[in-house]
Amino acid sequence: MRSETSGTSSTWTICHILHLQQVPPHELIAGDQGRCKENRLTNLSTVLALIARREYAKPLQSGGTRFQILLGEAVVMENESDLAGPKHWDSRALRVSRRSPSRLNVTVADLTDLLSAHLRPGTSVLEVGCAPGKFLLWCALERQAKVSGVEYAPKSAEATRELFRDMQVPIDLRTEDFLQTSFPPGSFDLVFSFGVIEHFDDPRPIVRKHVEVLRPGGRAIITVPNYGGFYGTIQSKLDRSNLLLHNLDIMNHQSLSALAPADLSGEVRTYAWGRLTPWILSFDKRLPPALARSFALGVNVLGLLQPVMISKMAPWLVLEISRR
């Protein structure tokens, strides 16, 4: 499962993170303009002016380049679709235990419950952005589903293959751009992704692809972290740079519903899902590792003890689409 993941090979490249406290603006202009030109960036002076005023601004469009100004820091990105990229995911240490995921993890318990109603023996299932593969493993072992996955980050895909090979569970896993997937339309009963589409500046094409590969009557289950609520407020204190990898504009019911392709969709639903969880928050960025782990485990226990789901505390927003 990914709390932040992506499913295609287009990337947004972070070209500069400019810290006013460390480098004077005139030195940035003198020293970095050449490199900016090489990266096809324009209007750097506008970025520097905003930094100098220490303004907080929503992303600005200028000359084909997107500027994100955040509390005196500027991140300049090429204007493409994927906010993370395969190198981001392959840079993570993938230590995958050779077993089905534990439901003592509140996020695992909640997301497997979300899938369970749509699974029966023989259900054909595709996970988009499937590394490290534990949810597909659960589908295969606990619900006897026929599982497939798409993962575009090569090291992450190989770690997933090793898991299924070691567990002696068959999987059709393809290392490819999901928007150019080799899976034909109408292949699956269930397509799901957990924390994928929010890494795209325009998620409509990847949502459409989820629906295209469904059989008529099939269902897409798409989740995004609920950073539009209090989880986003906490994460902004813990790890602001992580939020730059997320499209926060889609983290509400109206915007999520609007992503469903009208010509392919039958029923479209959005809803909040899940109990209190620490696993979409970066406590390790502000706390010593042992303390961060202990605190997260404590919050995880509180989530497991939570008797009912409360929408304002739900860590996930779900977009559920049936195929016509």
- Asked if 74 and 111 count as a contact pair (C-beta separation under 8 A), the reply is no
The residue with greater pLDDT, 70 or 12, is 70
- Return d(Cα 324, Cα 322) in angstroms, integer: 6
Whether 146 and 179 share a structural domain: yes
Whether 98 and 27 share a structural domain: no
Whether 171 and 256 share a structural domain: yes
Whether 106 and 186 share a structural domain: yes
Whether 176 and 36 share a structural domain: no
Residue 167 lies in a domain: yes
Residue 7 lies in a domain: no
**Which residue, 30, 53, 86, sits at the end of a domain?**
86
Provide the terminal-to-terminal Cα distance of the chain, rounded to the nearest Å. 28
- Asked if 272 and 229 count as a contact pair (C-beta separation under 8 A), the reply is no
Residue 121 lies in a domain: yes
Give pLDDT, residue 58: 38
**Which residue, 39, 64, 86, sits at the end of a domain?**
86
**Which residue, 29, 63, 86, sits at the end of a domain?**
86
Alpha carbon 124 to its chain centroid, in Å, reads 23
Whether 73 and 162 share a structural domain: no
Residue 5 lies in a domain: no
Q: What is the pLDDT of residues 41-87, one digit of tens each?
A: 334 444 444 444 443 333 433 333 344 433 333 333 333 456 556 66
Residues in the chain: 324
Q: What is the pLDDT of residues 281-318, one digit of tens each?
A: 999 999 999 999 999 999 999 999 999 999 999 999 99
In this predicted structure, the answer to whether residue 24 has a pLDDT above a threshold of 90 is no
Give the closest residue to 187 by CA, choosing from 311, 289, 323. 323
* Residue 132, preceding peptide bond in cis (omega within 30° of 0): yes
Whether 158 and 307 share a structural domain: yes
Whether 18 and 99 share a structural domain: no
Task: Provide the β-strand partners of residue 149.
Answer: 127, 173
Kindly report the CATH number assigned to the domain that includes residue 289: 3.40.50.150
The residue with greater pLDDT, 142 or 5, is 142
- Asked if 66 and 59 count as a contact pair (C-beta separation under 8 A), the reply is yes
Q: What is residue 57's three-state secondary structure?
A: strand
Residue 159 lies in a domain: yes
Amino acid at 219: R
pTM of the model: 0.76
Whether 20 and 73 share a structural domain: yes
Using the 8-state DSSP alphabet, how is residue 199 labeled? G
Whether 48 and 129 share a structural domain: no
Q: What is the pLDDT of residues 237-288, one digit of tens each?
A: 999 988 888 999 999 999 999 999 999 999 999 999 999 999 999 999 999 9
Amino acid at 272: A
Whether 71 and 203 share a structural domain: no
Residue 201 lies in a domain: yes
Token pair of 118 as six digits = 């749509």
Q: How many domains does the chain have?
A: 2
Q: In terms of residue numbers, what domain contains 67?
A: 14-86
- Asked if 54 and 69 count as a contact pair (C-beta separation under 8 A), the reply is no
Whether 77 and 110 share a structural domain: no
DSSP labels, 217-243:
EEEEEEEEE-TTTHHHHHHHHH-HHHH
